[in-house]
Structure 1
Amino acid sequence: MDEAVRLALVKWPNVPSCTGWLRLSRRGEWRVPEGPIRHAGLNAFIGRNYQPTSDGRWFFQNGPQQVFVSLDYTPLILRLASAEQLETHTGLPANTVTEAWLDEDGSLLLGCEHGVALLNDRDLAAFCARLEGDLEKQDAPLSLHWAGKAVSVGRIMQAEVAARFGFVSEPSL
Protein backbone atom coordinates (compact mmCIF):
# COMPACT_ATOMS: atom_id res chain seq x y z
CA MET A 1 0.00 0.00 0.00
CA ASP A 2 1.25 3.48 -0.85
CA GLU A 3 2.48 5.64 2.04
CA ALA A 4 0.10 8.45 1.02
CA VAL A 5 -2.80 5.99 1.33
CA ARG A 6 -1.66 4.93 4.82
CA LEU A 7 -1.47 8.57 5.93
CA ALA A 8 -4.96 9.29 4.52
CA LEU A 9 -6.37 6.37 6.52
CA VAL A 10 -4.96 7.87 9.72
CA LYS A 11 -6.20 11.36 8.88
CA TRP A 12 -9.73 10.31 7.79
CA PRO A 13 -10.50 6.94 9.44
CA ASN A 14 -14.29 6.91 8.96
CA VAL A 15 -14.80 7.48 5.22
CA PRO A 16 -17.53 5.11 3.97
CA SER A 17 -16.70 2.34 1.52
CA CYS A 18 -18.29 2.08 -1.91
CA THR A 19 -19.42 -0.71 -4.24
CA GLY A 20 -20.69 -0.88 -7.79
CA TRP A 21 -18.24 1.63 -9.26
CA LEU A 22 -15.06 -0.30 -10.14
CA ARG A 23 -14.78 -3.67 -11.80
CA LEU A 24 -12.04 -5.94 -13.09
CA SER A 25 -12.56 -7.38 -16.59
CA ARG A 26 -11.55 -10.85 -17.76
CA ARG A 27 -8.59 -9.20 -19.51
CA GLY A 28 -7.32 -7.40 -16.42
CA GLU A 29 -8.72 -3.97 -17.22
CA TRP A 30 -10.04 -1.71 -14.48
CA ARG A 31 -13.42 -0.47 -15.62
CA VAL A 32 -15.76 2.25 -14.35
CA PRO A 33 -19.29 2.88 -15.68
CA GLU A 34 -17.89 5.14 -18.41
CA GLY A 35 -15.52 2.43 -19.70
CA PRO A 36 -11.97 1.17 -19.18
CA ILE A 37 -9.46 3.22 -17.24
CA ARG A 38 -6.68 4.06 -19.72
CA HIS A 39 -4.47 6.34 -17.61
CA ALA A 40 -1.26 4.36 -16.89
CA GLY A 41 -0.57 6.15 -13.62
CA LEU A 42 -4.07 5.53 -12.27
CA ASN A 43 -3.92 1.86 -13.33
CA ALA A 44 -0.61 1.47 -11.48
CA PHE A 45 -1.99 3.24 -8.37
CA ILE A 46 -5.04 0.97 -8.26
CA GLY A 47 -2.84 -2.09 -8.76
CA ARG A 48 -0.48 -1.15 -5.90
CA ASN A 49 -3.40 -0.62 -3.53
CA TYR A 50 -5.53 -3.65 -4.53
CA GLN A 51 -6.02 -6.35 -1.90
CA PRO A 52 -8.55 -8.73 -0.34
CA THR A 53 -10.44 -8.57 2.92
CA SER A 54 -10.39 -11.63 5.16
CA ASP A 55 -13.81 -12.66 3.80
CA GLY A 56 -12.68 -12.65 0.14
CA ARG A 57 -13.92 -9.27 -1.06
CA TRP A 58 -11.30 -7.47 -3.17
CA PHE A 59 -10.91 -3.72 -2.95
CA PHE A 60 -8.78 -0.78 -3.96
CA GLN A 61 -7.75 1.46 -1.08
CA ASN A 62 -8.31 4.93 -2.54
CA GLY A 63 -6.89 7.16 0.14
CA PRO A 64 -9.19 6.71 3.14
CA GLN A 65 -11.90 4.94 1.12
CA GLN A 66 -12.21 1.25 0.29
CA VAL A 67 -13.58 0.85 -3.23
CA PHE A 68 -14.83 -2.72 -3.55
CA VAL A 69 -14.24 -4.31 -6.95
CA SER A 70 -16.76 -6.36 -8.92
CA LEU A 71 -15.00 -9.25 -10.62
CA ASP A 72 -15.92 -10.46 -14.09
CA TYR A 73 -14.24 -13.76 -13.17
CA THR A 74 -11.25 -14.04 -10.82
CA PRO A 75 -9.55 -11.41 -8.63
CA LEU A 76 -6.32 -11.80 -10.57
CA ILE A 77 -5.64 -11.99 -14.28
CA LEU A 78 -2.41 -13.44 -15.64
CA ARG A 79 -0.76 -12.50 -18.91
CA LEU A 80 2.47 -13.41 -20.63
CA ALA A 81 5.08 -10.72 -19.95
CA SER A 82 7.41 -12.70 -22.23
CA ALA A 83 7.44 -16.20 -23.72
CA GLU A 84 8.54 -17.68 -20.38
CA GLN A 85 7.24 -15.19 -17.80
CA LEU A 86 3.75 -14.64 -16.43
CA GLU A 87 2.65 -11.54 -14.57
CA THR A 88 -0.53 -10.43 -12.85
CA HIS A 89 -2.64 -7.58 -14.20
CA THR A 90 -1.11 -5.49 -11.40
CA GLY A 91 2.41 -6.18 -12.69
CA LEU A 92 3.58 -8.76 -10.13
CA PRO A 93 5.70 -11.59 -11.57
CA ALA A 94 4.11 -15.01 -11.22
CA ASN A 95 7.06 -17.37 -10.97
CA THR A 96 5.32 -20.56 -9.91
CA VAL A 97 2.31 -22.34 -11.41
CA THR A 98 1.12 -24.94 -8.93
CA GLU A 99 -2.34 -25.81 -10.28
CA ALA A 100 -4.35 -25.45 -13.48
CA TRP A 101 -8.01 -25.84 -14.47
CA LEU A 102 -10.03 -25.58 -17.66
CA ASP A 103 -13.63 -24.41 -17.41
CA GLU A 104 -16.54 -25.36 -19.64
CA ASP A 105 -15.80 -22.48 -22.04
CA GLY A 106 -12.11 -23.34 -22.44
CA SER A 107 -10.81 -20.61 -20.13
CA LEU A 108 -7.62 -21.54 -18.29
CA LEU A 109 -7.23 -20.79 -14.61
CA LEU A 110 -3.82 -21.03 -12.96
CA GLY A 111 -2.85 -21.28 -9.32
CA CYS A 112 0.29 -19.29 -8.55
CA GLU A 113 1.98 -17.72 -5.52
CA HIS A 114 -0.56 -14.86 -5.67
CA GLY A 115 -3.66 -17.10 -5.73
CA VAL A 116 -5.96 -18.30 -8.47
CA ALA A 117 -5.94 -16.28 -11.69
CA LEU A 118 -7.60 -16.39 -15.06
CA LEU A 119 -5.20 -16.44 -17.99
CA ASN A 120 -5.91 -13.52 -20.33
CA ASP A 121 -7.61 -14.99 -23.40
CA ARG A 122 -5.09 -13.20 -25.65
CA ASP A 123 -2.42 -15.56 -24.30
CA LEU A 124 -4.49 -18.74 -24.43
CA ALA A 125 -3.18 -19.81 -27.85
CA ALA A 126 0.42 -19.68 -26.57
CA PHE A 127 -0.57 -21.93 -23.67
CA CYS A 128 -2.36 -24.47 -25.88
CA ALA A 129 1.04 -25.56 -27.18
CA ARG A 130 2.00 -26.32 -23.57
CA LEU A 131 -1.02 -28.56 -22.93
CA GLU A 132 -0.72 -32.31 -23.29
CA GLY A 133 -3.73 -34.58 -23.56
CA ASP A 134 -7.09 -34.72 -25.32
CA LEU A 135 -9.00 -31.48 -24.76
CA GLU A 136 -12.16 -32.92 -26.30
CA LYS A 137 -12.60 -35.69 -23.74
CA GLN A 138 -13.84 -34.40 -20.40
CA ASP A 139 -12.34 -37.31 -18.45
CA ALA A 140 -9.01 -37.49 -20.30
CA PRO A 141 -5.96 -36.51 -18.22
CA LEU A 142 -4.42 -33.16 -19.17
CA SER A 143 -1.16 -31.57 -18.14
CA LEU A 144 0.39 -28.17 -18.60
CA HIS A 145 4.13 -27.81 -19.12
CA TRP A 146 5.45 -24.56 -17.65
CA ALA A 147 8.86 -23.54 -16.30
CA GLY A 148 10.22 -27.07 -16.63
CA LYS A 149 7.37 -28.66 -14.66
CA ALA A 150 4.28 -30.61 -15.61
CA VAL A 151 1.13 -29.52 -13.77
CA SER A 152 -2.06 -31.58 -13.89
CA VAL A 153 -5.01 -29.71 -15.38
CA GLY A 154 -8.36 -30.24 -13.72
CA ARG A 155 -11.82 -29.37 -14.95
CA ILE A 156 -14.02 -26.82 -13.21
CA MET A 157 -17.34 -25.09 -13.82
CA GLN A 158 -17.31 -21.29 -13.84
CA ALA A 159 -20.14 -21.22 -11.30
CA GLU A 160 -17.91 -23.10 -8.80
CA VAL A 161 -14.78 -20.92 -9.05
CA ALA A 162 -15.53 -18.16 -6.52
CA ALA A 163 -16.66 -20.54 -3.78
CA ARG A 164 -13.83 -22.99 -4.40
CA PHE A 165 -11.15 -20.30 -4.18
CA GLY A 166 -12.77 -18.15 -1.52
CA PHE A 167 -13.47 -14.84 -3.19
CA VAL A 168 -16.59 -12.71 -3.71
CA SER A 169 -17.42 -11.69 -7.29
CA GLU A 170 -20.02 -9.05 -6.37
CA PRO A 171 -19.07 -7.55 -3.01
CA SER A 172 -21.54 -5.68 -0.84
CA LEU A 173 -21.00 -3.51 2.21
Structure 2
Amino acid sequence: MDDIVRQAMAKWPHVPACYGWLGLDARGQWWLRDAQAQACGGFASGRAGARGTLLRHEKLIDFIGRNYDADARGCWYFQNGPQRVFVELEAAPWVWRLRCTEAQLELTAHTGALLAAADVQQAVLDDQGHLYLLLPRGLGLVHSQDMDDAARALERGWLAEPEELPRSVLAERFGYRQSPQALEQATEMLPDR
Protein backbone atom coordinates (compact mmCIF):
# COMPACT_ATOMS: atom_id res chain seq x y z
CA MET A 1 0.00 0.00 0.00
CA ASP A 2 1.25 3.49 -0.83
CA ASP A 3 2.51 5.63 2.07
CA ILE A 4 0.26 8.51 1.02
CA VAL A 5 -2.73 6.17 1.36
CA ARG A 6 -1.68 5.10 4.88
CA GLN A 7 -1.28 8.75 5.87
CA ALA A 8 -4.75 9.62 4.55
CA MET A 9 -6.26 6.67 6.44
CA ALA A 10 -4.65 7.87 9.68
CA LYS A 11 -5.79 11.46 9.11
CA TRP A 12 -9.40 10.58 8.16
CA PRO A 13 -10.21 7.21 9.78
CA HIS A 14 -14.01 7.30 9.41
CA VAL A 15 -14.66 7.90 5.71
CA PRO A 16 -17.63 5.80 4.49
CA ALA A 17 -16.89 3.00 2.04
CA CYS A 18 -18.00 3.14 -1.58
CA TYR A 19 -19.87 0.23 -3.19
CA GLY A 20 -20.66 -0.60 -6.82
CA TRP A 21 -18.49 2.05 -8.47
CA LEU A 22 -15.53 -0.09 -9.56
CA GLY A 23 -15.47 -3.42 -11.40
CA LEU A 24 -12.80 -5.93 -12.42
CA ASP A 25 -13.53 -7.97 -15.54
CA ALA A 26 -12.29 -11.42 -16.56
CA ARG A 27 -9.44 -9.85 -18.56
CA GLY A 28 -8.06 -7.92 -15.57
CA GLN A 29 -9.43 -4.56 -16.71
CA TRP A 30 -10.88 -1.98 -14.32
CA TRP A 31 -14.25 -0.36 -15.04
CA LEU A 32 -15.75 2.79 -13.50
CA ARG A 33 -19.45 2.34 -12.86
CA ASP A 34 -21.45 5.52 -12.47
CA ALA A 35 -25.07 5.56 -11.30
CA GLN A 36 -26.31 4.99 -14.86
CA ALA A 37 -24.15 1.83 -15.25
CA GLN A 38 -25.29 0.53 -11.87
CA ALA A 39 -28.93 1.10 -12.86
CA CYS A 40 -28.37 -1.27 -15.82
CA GLY A 41 -27.71 -4.17 -13.42
CA GLY A 42 -24.92 -5.99 -11.65
CA PHE A 43 -21.41 -5.80 -13.05
CA ALA A 44 -21.29 -9.52 -13.91
CA SER A 45 -24.87 -9.56 -15.26
CA GLY A 46 -23.84 -9.17 -18.90
CA ARG A 47 -26.52 -6.51 -19.41
CA ALA A 48 -25.77 -3.71 -21.86
CA GLY A 49 -24.23 -0.71 -20.10
CA ALA A 50 -23.78 -2.45 -16.72
CA ARG A 51 -19.99 -2.50 -16.90
CA GLY A 52 -19.62 1.27 -17.17
CA THR A 53 -16.51 2.93 -18.60
CA LEU A 54 -13.22 1.13 -19.17
CA LEU A 55 -10.35 2.75 -17.28
CA ARG A 56 -7.45 3.64 -19.58
CA HIS A 57 -5.36 6.00 -17.44
CA GLU A 58 -2.17 4.00 -16.76
CA LYS A 59 -1.12 5.85 -13.59
CA LEU A 60 -4.59 5.42 -12.07
CA ILE A 61 -4.60 1.72 -13.01
CA ASP A 62 -1.18 1.27 -11.37
CA PHE A 63 -2.38 3.16 -8.25
CA ILE A 64 -5.42 0.90 -7.96
CA GLY A 65 -3.23 -2.20 -8.38
CA ARG A 66 -0.81 -1.14 -5.64
CA ASN A 67 -3.66 -0.50 -3.21
CA TYR A 68 -5.84 -3.55 -3.97
CA ASP A 69 -6.65 -5.82 -1.03
CA ALA A 70 -9.42 -7.82 0.66
CA ASP A 71 -11.21 -7.49 3.98
CA ALA A 72 -12.10 -10.26 6.42
CA ARG A 73 -15.43 -10.87 4.61
CA GLY A 74 -13.63 -11.71 1.35
CA CYS A 75 -14.66 -8.42 -0.25
CA TRP A 76 -11.95 -6.96 -2.48
CA TYR A 77 -11.39 -3.24 -2.52
CA PHE A 78 -9.15 -0.44 -3.70
CA GLN A 79 -7.96 1.76 -0.83
CA ASN A 80 -8.35 5.25 -2.33
CA GLY A 81 -6.78 7.44 0.32
CA PRO A 82 -9.04 7.16 3.37
CA GLN A 83 -11.92 5.56 1.43
CA ARG A 84 -12.38 1.91 0.54
CA VAL A 85 -13.82 1.45 -2.92
CA PHE A 86 -15.20 -2.09 -3.07
CA VAL A 87 -14.77 -3.97 -6.34
CA GLU A 88 -17.44 -5.88 -8.23
CA LEU A 89 -15.84 -9.00 -9.74
CA GLU A 90 -16.85 -10.56 -13.04
CA ALA A 91 -15.04 -13.82 -12.23
CA ALA A 92 -12.42 -13.83 -9.45
CA PRO A 93 -10.33 -11.33 -7.47
CA TRP A 94 -7.26 -11.95 -9.63
CA VAL A 95 -6.53 -12.41 -13.30
CA TRP A 96 -3.27 -14.23 -14.01
CA ARG A 97 -1.18 -13.78 -17.13
CA LEU A 98 0.95 -16.83 -18.01
CA ARG A 99 3.93 -17.24 -20.28
CA CYS A 100 5.42 -20.68 -20.73
CA THR A 101 9.00 -20.51 -22.00
CA GLU A 102 11.34 -23.45 -22.64
CA ALA A 103 12.82 -23.00 -19.16
CA GLN A 104 9.97 -21.90 -16.91
CA LEU A 105 6.43 -20.74 -16.31
CA GLU A 106 6.16 -16.98 -15.76
CA LEU A 107 3.16 -15.57 -13.89
CA THR A 108 1.99 -11.98 -13.59
CA ALA A 109 -1.09 -10.62 -11.81
CA HIS A 110 -3.44 -8.15 -13.48
CA THR A 111 -1.94 -5.57 -11.10
CA GLY A 112 1.48 -6.09 -12.68
CA ALA A 113 2.95 -8.00 -9.72
CA LEU A 114 5.36 -10.78 -10.71
CA LEU A 115 4.60 -14.12 -9.08
CA ALA A 116 6.50 -17.35 -8.49
CA ALA A 117 5.13 -20.36 -10.36
CA ALA A 118 6.15 -22.44 -7.35
CA ASP A 119 3.46 -20.60 -5.35
CA VAL A 120 0.63 -22.16 -7.36
CA GLN A 121 -1.26 -24.28 -4.83
CA GLN A 122 -4.07 -25.62 -6.98
CA ALA A 123 -5.55 -25.51 -10.49
CA VAL A 124 -9.32 -25.48 -11.00
CA LEU A 125 -11.37 -25.93 -14.16
CA ASP A 126 -14.94 -24.66 -13.98
CA ASP A 127 -17.97 -26.05 -15.80
CA GLN A 128 -17.59 -23.39 -18.51
CA GLY A 129 -14.00 -24.39 -19.32
CA HIS A 130 -12.27 -21.51 -17.52
CA LEU A 131 -8.99 -22.26 -15.74
CA TYR A 132 -8.22 -20.77 -12.32
CA LEU A 133 -5.06 -20.94 -10.23
CA LEU A 134 -4.93 -20.64 -6.46
CA LEU A 135 -1.93 -18.73 -5.09
CA PRO A 136 -1.35 -17.33 -1.59
CA ARG A 137 -2.92 -14.04 -2.81
CA GLY A 138 -6.14 -15.86 -3.68
CA LEU A 139 -7.93 -17.44 -6.60
CA GLY A 140 -7.34 -15.99 -10.04
CA LEU A 141 -8.70 -16.65 -13.49
CA VAL A 142 -6.13 -17.46 -16.16
CA HIS A 143 -6.45 -14.85 -18.92
CA SER A 144 -8.20 -16.34 -21.97
CA GLN A 145 -5.30 -15.37 -24.26
CA ASP A 146 -2.89 -17.46 -22.15
CA MET A 147 -4.62 -20.84 -22.36
CA ASP A 148 -2.05 -22.23 -24.84
CA ASP A 149 0.69 -21.39 -22.33
CA ALA A 150 -1.34 -23.01 -19.56
CA ALA A 151 -1.75 -26.18 -21.65
CA ARG A 152 2.03 -26.32 -22.23
CA ALA A 153 2.65 -25.82 -18.50
CA LEU A 154 0.28 -28.72 -17.74
CA GLU A 155 2.05 -30.93 -20.30
CA ARG A 156 5.42 -30.13 -18.72
CA GLY A 157 4.15 -30.83 -15.21
CA TRP A 158 4.59 -27.22 -14.07
CA LEU A 159 0.90 -27.05 -13.13
CA ALA A 160 -1.06 -29.76 -11.35
CA GLU A 161 -3.98 -31.42 -13.07
CA PRO A 162 -6.99 -29.14 -12.44
CA GLU A 163 -9.81 -30.08 -10.11
CA GLU A 164 -13.18 -29.71 -11.83
CA LEU A 165 -15.69 -27.55 -9.96
CA PRO A 166 -18.88 -25.71 -10.92
CA ARG A 167 -18.31 -21.97 -11.25
CA SER A 168 -21.20 -21.39 -8.84
CA VAL A 169 -19.19 -22.75 -5.88
CA LEU A 170 -15.85 -20.99 -6.48
CA ALA A 171 -16.51 -17.80 -4.49
CA GLU A 172 -17.68 -19.64 -1.39
CA ARG A 173 -15.01 -22.34 -1.60
CA PHE A 174 -12.15 -19.88 -2.08
CA GLY A 175 -13.44 -17.17 0.24
CA TYR A 176 -14.27 -14.16 -1.90
CA ARG A 177 -17.38 -12.15 -2.72
CA GLN A 178 -18.16 -11.31 -6.32
CA SER A 179 -20.45 -8.46 -5.32
CA PRO A 180 -19.62 -6.59 -2.12
CA GLN A 181 -22.43 -4.21 -3.07
CA ALA A 182 -25.02 -7.03 -2.94
CA LEU A 183 -23.64 -8.15 0.43
CA GLU A 184 -23.83 -4.59 1.77
CA GLN A 185 -27.41 -4.15 0.52
CA ALA A 186 -28.45 -7.46 2.11
CA THR A 187 -26.83 -6.42 5.40
CA GLU A 188 -28.64 -3.06 5.36
CA MET A 189 -31.98 -4.88 5.00
CA LEU A 190 -31.47 -6.95 8.15
CA PRO A 191 -33.58 -5.81 11.11
CA ASP A 192 -31.71 -4.21 14.02
CA ARG A 193 -31.17 -6.60 16.89
| Ranges in structure 1 where 5+ consecutive residues have no aligned partner | 133-143
Corresponding position of 1:58: 76
Q: Could you tell me how far apart the structure 2 residues matched to 1:3 and 1:97 are?
A: 29
Gaps of 5+ in 2: 34-51, 185-193
Shift in Å, 1:30 = 0.8
Higher share of residues assigned strand:
1
| Higher helix residue share | 2
Contact 2:96 2:140 (C-alpha < 8 Å) held by counterparts = yes
Q: Show the counterpart of 1:125.
A: 148
Q: CA deviation at 1:81?
A: 5.5
Quick check: 1:107 aligned with 2:157? no
- Does the residue aligned with 1:22 lie in a helix, a strand or coil? strand
Question: Which residue of 1 is the match for residue 108 of structure 2?
Answer: 87
- Listed one character per residue, the Cα deviations across residues 21-65 of structure 1 (whole Å, up to 9, x for unaligned) are 101100111111342111111111001100000110000000111
Q: Which residue of 2 aligns with 1:31?
A: 31
1:86 aligned partner, one-letter code: L
CA contact (8 A) 2:98 2:108 kept: yes
| SS in structure 2 at match of 1:66 | strand
Q: Check the 8 A contact 1:94/1:113 in 2, yes or no.
A: no
1:59-78 maps to which residues of 2 (within 5 A)? 59-78=77-96
**Residues 81/31 of structure 1: CA separation in 2 closer, same or farther (3 Å cut):** farther
RMSD: 1.6
1:82 positional shift: 6.4
Q: Percent identity?
A: 40
Distance 1:88 1:145 in 2: 21
**For 1:122-171, what per-residue CA distance to the aligned partner results, in whole angstroms no more than 9, with x for missing partners?**
10122123335xxxxxxxxxxx722xxx5131101110000000111100
